[in-house]
Structure 1
Amino acid sequence: MVLGPEDVMLRTLPRSLRTAGDAAEVARRMHDRLARHGLELPVRLWDGSTLGPDQMPYRLVLPHPWSVRQLLPASDLTAGDVYVSGYLDIEGSLIDALHHLHGVRSATDGGIPPRTRVAMTRDLWSLPAPPSSNDDGDATAIRHHDDGGNDFYPLILDYGLVYSCAIFDADDAAAPAEDRSALTRAQVRKLDTVCRKLHLQPGERFLDIGCGWGALALHAARHYGVEAVGITRSPAQAELARESVEAAGLAERIEIRVADYREVTETFDGIASLGMGEHGGHQALGAYVEVLVRALRPGGRLLNQGITTGRPIEVRDLSQAKATFVGANVFPGGALIPVEEMVRVLHAAGLETRDVEQLRPHYALTLRHWVANLEAAWDEAVAEVGERTARMWRACMSGSVIDFETGALGVVQILAVMPDARLPLGRDWMRPTRP
């Protein structure tokens, strides 16, 4: 006999909670306690009943009697995992929901008395845990960037497959998040900004660490006449990048390698590291930069683009024990550091900082485009990587929008050069000329 959800629930509930109605009553009591302290949330329970205001751009959905029990112990990491597992859902915009929850939490932080917290915790612990899952996917943590492969990322990214912060002008910033052409132009603008800041010249040697699908190497070779090397640890990325290089007729000027950055033995006039330094952890950052410096020729230039901490200004350890949901899934074992620390590490390695540019608003816009693209192709994404992974990406990117829009995170481009580098004065020469 196949048991339905209600049968499983009745067998799972303790004697004091024999019906879904009892679980709903606990959920309502908890909601009322929160509302009395300024935390009134729009909620839909598994029985179709609603709690809280109706005029909100989103509603939290608890699809099972045991859903709310899964929020214990309450944390950012736990809430994200509950959403990924399907025990919590969102009607409407996830970004709007997270913005509202961030604002309410900031306004009520510390406003819930300890006695109320204890009562809610006791109620939540009295609810049943969910039945064991038979889905093998539930037993495997989703913790890696490259799980999606070449068929998943094109659903999210721009037409050029650039997986880092774009740079928007006023027109593209005003475009709807669903406008992939605007995102593509913004990514081309970023690629050109990198090449301009590095002051790449025809015939120079250029290295792109973590080249992804080869967009920056292609742009640098096509428009700046360099000989480019792109390295990635993903064979799937390298395969598609090489196909793009062949199609562009640039195979004699671009080499795509599957390699670790520590395996590079040549020297280069310009090196770009976009979004790579965050993954190795704070302790490994100095060694990472030293490898890059050894790969620079006299007069060489390094452009590092990386996510930094905003407020508070601190080093954030993203090891599993201290991770947030985004940190655990996007930067497992990594660290985010303040821009001041990155500049210090670059100086300690013998480089001179010539330019620092904060791109925080641009990454928020980039992420809004990625979220819109994912939601527009949701069924395809689920078919490609499964619902858990698709939900993980939606949650991570939506949560990151909040972090960048509220200043919790930044993303900074730092141009650091060998002391004998000869560059023009001012900043006009750094401005992109494309698209």
Structure 2
Amino acid sequence: MLEPIRTWIRPAGNRRLAERVGTMLSNIGIRLNGDRPQDIQVHDPRFYRRVLAEGSVGLGESYMDGWWDCQALDDLICALLSADLDHQVRSHFDAWDYLKARLINLQKGRRSYRVGEHHYDLGNDFYRRMLDRRMVYSCGYWDSDHPAEIEATPEGLNRAQERKLDLCARKLYLQPGMRVLDIGCGWGGTAAYLAEQYGVEVTGITISRAQAEWAEAHCKDLPVTIRLEDYRDTARHLAGKFDRIVSIGMFEHVGFKNYQTYMDAARRLLTPDGLFLLHTIAGNRRQVRTDPWIARYIFPNSMAPYIGNLGDAMAGRFIAEDWQNIGPHYDPTLRAWHRNVNSHAEALSKRNSQFNERFFRMWRYYLLSCAGAFRARRNQVWQIVLSPNGYPGAYRRPDDP
């Protein structure tokens, strides 16, 4: 007797949930099962309950599971974030992640290595196909004088990353023979570029074994030393050894409980007249953890700092000489990475069973949702030039290349 009742109730409940989700989306110009690229195509009616109950995690996981699709995923996410819908739909994951981040130092000790093991050790072959020729895994700096089509070419991405590296080098006023520390050196692309183009000696540190092995092999003929270690360990035995420090795309893994520790370490490593360039993704609100889906599947224990977080951490340690936002350049960078992954998906799946359909759906959601977030200006990218005691005279930002 109960089964017919359940059968009748379930479709009725799904209809109500679908109407609720449909109303929320129609208010921002998105249609359920519409015919435009930004519209959502629902394949499984369980999608509605899941996204309302689980928020960000439910939206991302149901996409990974194939419950819905969207031709222009980046446009969809841009619309959702521009309307602040993510803050209107909350789940139990939000409360748990907030409490965990508040009570536990998620980026201390062995936990600091987790993101390297989970994300950056995914495989050098995978990242070689996704990134530019120097394997720089951070926001490029695109030449606005070129047409948008340049983004779709490998040379366009190569040029954008080298423009970014050159911008960083010129902001640091590098001179031959200077000793440079690269905190979070990745696959050594920045270290190699600075050594080749500016004649400096570079020490790069990373918490990813796969990155360290690649960087050592590709920098072996350059004045570059690669160390597999945490920045806190580096500060203990190399204090005062560096004329310049550069850190690109690493600060997102430091965590708000360690911001002052990080700035103390950088200050200890730098000479009194040195310069430090910090390049980091940033948010518009004070927070203690990242998006729950990103934390679960992409960057464990990560978070983007707010301007107030950095101000508190710098206080009494550094003088901010220059502060530039290049956040809009991350949108085309992420779309270029997505095109590269798509073009190599078949070859990658043949080489490694880990790269299956669900993996590529996860990766597509990651890259295009982040592109949408930067397009909505929810996220920023700051390049901050810091000095311990003030740059002699007035610091002047170099002109763009």
Alignment TM class, shorter chain as reference: 0.7 to 0.9
Q: Alpha-carbon deviations, 1:169-212, whole Å to 9, x = none?
A: 11456235422211110100111111111111111101111111
Give the residue type in structure 2 aligned to 1:392.
Answer: M
- Structure 2: 5+ residue stretches without partners: 90-114
- 8 A Cα contact 1:210 1:276, kept in partner: yes
Identity of aligned residues (%): 31
1:272 aligned residue: 246
Structure 2 residue 367 is the aligned partner of structure 1 residue 397: yes
Q: Alpha-carbon deviations, 1:56-103, whole Å to 9, x = none?
A: 11453443454444335141222112222x142314221133234446
- Structure 1: 5+ residue stretches without partners: 1-12, 44-50, 113-140
Q: Alpha-carbon deviations, 1:302-360, whole Å to 9, x = none?
A: 100111112xxx321117xxx432344444333322224313422332x2111100011
2:300 aligned residue: 332
1:352 aligned residue: 319
Identify which of 353, 358, 364 aligns with 1:388.
358
1:376 aligned residue: 343
Structure 2 residue 66 is the aligned partner of structure 1 residue 60: no
1:116 aligned residue: none
Pair 1:202–1:278, CA change in 2 (3 A): same
Pair 1:29–1:82, CA change in 2 (3 A): same
Considering only CA atoms, is the larger Rg found in Structure 1 or Structure 2? 1
Identify which of 333, 342, 349 aligns with 2:310.
342
Structure 2 residue 231 is the aligned partner of structure 1 residue 261: yes
Listed as ranges, the matches of 1:8-407 within 5 Å are: 15-16=4-5, 18=7, 27-28=14-15, 30-32=17-19, 34-35=21-22, 38-39=26-27, 42-43=31-32, 51=33, 53-54=34-35, 56-64=36-44, 66-84=46-64, 86-102=65-81, 144-172=118-146, 174-246=148-220, 249-250=221-222, 253-264=223-234, 265-266=237-238, 267-310=241-284, 314-318=285-289, 323-349=291-317, 351-383=318-350, 384=352, 385-407=355-377
2:116 and 2:73 mapped to 1: Cα distance?
A: 20
- 8 A Cα contact 1:207 1:271, kept in partner: yes
The structure in which a higher percent of residues are helix is: 2
2:76 and 2:287 mapped to 1: Cα distance?
A: 25
1:88 and 1:254 mapped to 2: Cα distance?
A: 48
Pair 1:201–1:388, CA change in 2 (3 A): same
- 8 A Cα contact 1:172 1:186, kept in partner: no
Give the residue type in structure 1 aligned to 2:325.
Answer: Q
Higher relative contact order by CA 8 Å / sep ≥ 6: 1 or 2?
2
Aligned length: 366
State the superposition RMSD in angstroms: 3.2
Give 3-state SS (helix, strand or coil) of 1:335's partner: coil
1:72 and 1:142 mapped to 2: Cα distance?
A: 32
Give 3-state SS (helix, strand or coil) of 1:170's partner: coil
Give 3-state SS (helix, strand or coil) of 2:125's partner: coil
- Alpha-carbon shift at residue 32 of structure 1 (Å): 4.3
Normalising by structure 1, report the TM-score: 0.75
- 8 A Cα contact 1:143 1:330, kept in partner: no
Give the residue type in structure 2 aligned to 1:256.
Answer: I
